[in-house]
């Protein structure tokens, strides 16, 4: 009797373990190692100081802050990969003691912002995160630079012009024709008169340099100083003031969330969305990055 029970126990163990053995045989041990990779604990700078939390909690908070939770699931997945890639890139470059200082929403902030839709939106973002678990964007053998913004002026920017670097050939001009029709495409701000003029723009129409008095500042610096919604802007004197007209929302480099959402509505997958905005990159698993950083 004991021998029979022992025999059946062995069969049961084999049945339970067989799917795992087959998976490892086909895909290699790395696939199993990353099954809970997003439970890694990271250090995060908050208003109350540096705290430790699971990377998932932090990154879902970043998603909540950075992209409308009402957007399509596939674009939320694409955004999740961009956020995860950025975080692990920082960990790889600075080590496991990295303190993440990017802004994110706490659960309390989400509840305040979303009200009765909190549960719906939170679970939507959590699912987007879980369904892309461990996935990051690579260019050749390195984690890619993964910028994003809300709305372009009709196309994205070329990193060679915007950043003055040839390290990111996958960040180039791509058309975003539907962005032009967006409700908040054009916005106007009026400021006090000053001696200022735009001195150079890039191919996509975003400002590279502005002369302010005798000083030259970058377009992004000027945008931040005057809290402009976009890096694509013009200056015009009007009734003793300066009228600043902007197009789009954000810096214009990387993925336009608005266009990506339109693509998702047309049936594009998150892989297709990322391939469009980051052509030449590849989605890979992050498990080896964790091993290197320890």
9-65 pLDDT tens trace:
444 433 433 343 333 333 333 333 344 566 688 999 988 899 999 999 999 999 999
Q: Hey, which residues does 284 pair with through a beta bridge?
A: 136
Give the pLDDT of residue 153.
97
Q: Cβ atoms within 10 A of the Cβ of 243, count? A: 14
Q: Cβ atoms within 10 A of the Cβ of 283, count? A: 17
Burial (CB < 10 A; 0-12, 13-18, 19+), residue 190, is exposed
pLDDT surpasses 70 at 3: no
Q: Which two tokens stand for residue 47?
A: 């208003």
Give the pLDDT of residue 145.
98
pLDDT in tens, 207-245: 999 999 999 999 999 999 999 999 999 999 988 999 999
Give the pLDDT of residue 67.
98
Give the pLDDT of residue 99.
92
Cβ–Cβ < 8 Å for 92, 143: yes
Helix (H, G, I), strand (E, B) or coil at 214: coil
Give the pLDDT of residue 97.
82
Question: For 284, phi and psi rounded to 5 degrees?
Answer: -135, 175
Closest residue by Cα to residue 33 from 292, 285, 284: 285
Residues 245-250 have a mean pLDDT of: 98
Give the pLDDT of residue 33.
37
Closest residue by Cα to residue 274 from 174, 151, 154: 174
**In sequence order, which residues have a C-beta less than 8 Å from that of residue 179 and are 6 or more positions away?**
151, 152, 153, 154, 185, 248, 256, 258, 259
Residues 116-122 have a mean pLDDT of: 97
pLDDT surpasses 60 at 122: yes
DSSP string, 219-232: HHHHHHHTT-SBS-
pLDDT surpasses 80 at 166: yes
Give the pLDDT of residue 27.
36
Reading phi first (left if > 0) and then psi (alpha if -120 to 50, else beta), residue 254 is in left
Strands 186-192 and 148-149: unpaired
Q: Which two tokens stand for residue 226?
A: 């005057």
Closest residue by Cα to residue 175 from 153, 159, 145: 153
pLDDT surpasses 80 at 142: yes
Helices 73-94, 257-265: crossing angle, 10 deg rounding: 140
């Amino acid at each position: 009797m004991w021998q029979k029970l022992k025999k059946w126990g062995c069969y049961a163990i084999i049945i339970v373990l067989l799917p795992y053995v087959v998976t490892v045989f086909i895909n290699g041990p790395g696939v199993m190692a990353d099954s809970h990779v997003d439970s890694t604990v990271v250090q995060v700078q908050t208003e109350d100081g540096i705290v430790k939390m699971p990377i998932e909690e932090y990154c879902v908070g970043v998603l909540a802050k950075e992209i409308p939770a009402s957007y399509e699931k596939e674009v939320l997945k694409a955004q999740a990969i961009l956020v995860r890639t950025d975080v692990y890139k920082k960990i790889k470059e600075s080590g496991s003691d990295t303190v993440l200082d990017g802004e994110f929403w706490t659960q309390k902030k989400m509840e305040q912002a979303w009200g009765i839709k909190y549960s719906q939106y939170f679970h939507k973002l959590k699912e987007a995160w879980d369904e892309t678990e461990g996935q990051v964007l690579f260019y050749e053998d390195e984690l890619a630079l993964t910028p994003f913004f809300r709305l372009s002026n009709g196309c994205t920017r070329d990193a060679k012009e915007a950043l003055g670097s040839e390290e990111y050939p996958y960040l180039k001009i791509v058309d975003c024709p539907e962005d032009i029709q967006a409700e908040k495409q054009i916005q106007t701000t009026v400021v006090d008169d000053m001696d200022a003029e735009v001195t150079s723009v890039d191919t996509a129409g975003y400002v590279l340099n502005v002369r302010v008095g005798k000083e030259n500042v970058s377009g992004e610096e000027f945008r931040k100083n005057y809290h402009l919604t976009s890096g694509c802007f013009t200056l015009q004197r009007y009734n003793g003031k300066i009228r600043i007209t902007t197009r789009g929302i954000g810096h214009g480099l990387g993925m336009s969330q608005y266009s990506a959402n339109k693509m998702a509505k047309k049936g594009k997958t998150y892989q297709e969305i990322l391939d469009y905005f980051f052509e030449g990159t590849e989605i890979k698993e992050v498990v080896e990055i964790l091993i290197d950083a320890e």
